[in-house]
Amino acid sequence: MDKRPIGVFDSGLGGLTVVDELIRILPGEDIIYFGDTGRVPYGTRSRETIERYARQDEGFLLSKNVKLIIAACGTVSSVAPHTGDMLPVPFVEVVKPAAKEAAGVTKTGKIGVIGTTATILSGAYTRELLAINPSLEIFSKDCPLFVPLVEAGWVDRDDEVTRLTVRRYLAAIKQENVDTLILGCTHYPLIADIIGDELEGKVHLVSSGKAAAQAAAEVIVHKGITADRQQEGQYEFYVSDRPEGFSALANLFLKKDIDACVTRIDVSGL
């Protein structure tokens, strides 16, 4: 039994898809979330900057005595997963779990991957998928405007701007007739309905965030560090910019009122 919290970090709001899944499958666990809203998005930054941000985010979570850290950021998971190698607690990123799920569900062997520019340029998903099955065909596309749209709250299924942006980005992938699409950024599940509509409901969508949460749950159980409590866990949320905008969207996607427990912090000195 280990009552220490699980730590989750992301560049902004998207990692809440991981938190939502953790709450569903591990309801008794305490969770500490850090969203680096003051420096979002990570996907347009240099490799060196992404690595520095990741180490600062991890350092903050370690200061909160977490028992496991999840990099709920597709960019960090693709570009700087090595930052988790020397941590004193287990580390879970989103690329490997999502690739494993996608390789397991595809029927045609044609898999699409969408993510931030840094994620796609890293080739991390392609390498991981081909390591699982060299016969897979991978089609990748960066979608840099998706994160700002989600962070702005433009996630309604009927939002015309977001629908048109999705259509433009997915045109090439749609032509390849993929049967599986990895949402390689944890922001993207928040517009999954729009993405699914554009693909006419014919493509299996793999949420990298949900896959990572499930992988983390397996690690916690395997290592025997579950909280083993019956009541609902406690949740703390930290951001690096104004908490008000974060709270409004987080309340919507977690279906919980978290206004009272969002704290602004500065991790730049860590």
- What's the confidence (pLDDT) of residue 236? 94
- What's the confidence (pLDDT) of residue 257? 74
Where in the sequence is the domain holding 255, given as residue range(s)? 6-93+210-264
Matching residue, tokens 């180490």: 55
- What's the confidence (pLDDT) of residue 255? 74
- In this structure, what token pair is assigned to residue 118? 């840094």
Q: How big is the chain by its Cα radius of gyration, in Å?
A: 17
Catalytic, 185? Answer yes
Domain identity same for 86 and 156: no
Other CB atoms within a 10 A radius of the CB of residue 167 amount to 14
Number of domains in the chain: 2
Catalytic, 143? Answer no
Domain identity same for 88 and 217: yes
Domain identity same for 101 and 171: yes
**List 73, 143, 150, 178, catalytic entry:** 73
Determine whether 96 is exposed, middle or buried from the number of CB atoms within 10 Å of its CB (0-12, 13-18, 19+): buried
83 lies in some domain: yes
Domain boundary among 166, 189, 208: 208
269 lies in some domain: no
HEC profile of 206-219: EEHHHHHHHHHHHH
270 lies in some domain: no
- What's the confidence (pLDDT) of residue 92? 98
Domain identity same for 99 and 204: yes
- What's the confidence (pLDDT) of residue 259? 66
257 lies in some domain: yes
Domain identity same for 189 and 100: yes
- Rounded Cα distance between 243 and 248, Å, is 9
- In this structure, what token pair is assigned to residue 125? 């998903």
114 lies in some domain: yes
CATH at residue 66: 3.40.50.1860
- What's the confidence (pLDDT) of residue 2? 94
- What's the confidence (pLDDT) of residue 269? 82
Q: Are 179 and 110 in contact (CB under 8 A)?
A: yes
Domain boundary among 208, 229, 251: 208
Domain identity same for 119 and 197: yes
DSSP secondary-structure letter at 240? S
- What's the confidence (pLDDT) of residue 50? 96
**List 185, 190, 191, 199, catalytic entry:** 185
Domain identity same for 60 and 87: yes
Domain boundary among 208, 224, 245: 208
197 lies in some domain: yes
Domain identity same for 28 and 123: no
- The segments of the chain whose pLDDT lies below 50 read none
Domain identity same for 47 and 150: no
pLDDT tens digit sequence for 222-255: 999 999 888 889 999 999 998 887 887 887 778 7
1 lies in some domain: no
Determine whether 244 is exposed, middle or buried from the number of CB atoms within 10 Å of its CB (0-12, 13-18, 19+): exposed
Determine whether 202 is exposed, middle or buried from the number of CB atoms within 10 Å of its CB (0-12, 13-18, 19+): exposed
Domain identity same for 100 and 202: yes
Domain identity same for 13 and 47: yes
Q: Packing angle between helix 95-105 and helix 124-132, nearest 10 degrees?
A: 50
Amino acid letter, residue 139: F
Domain identity same for 196 and 104: yes
219 lies in some domain: yes
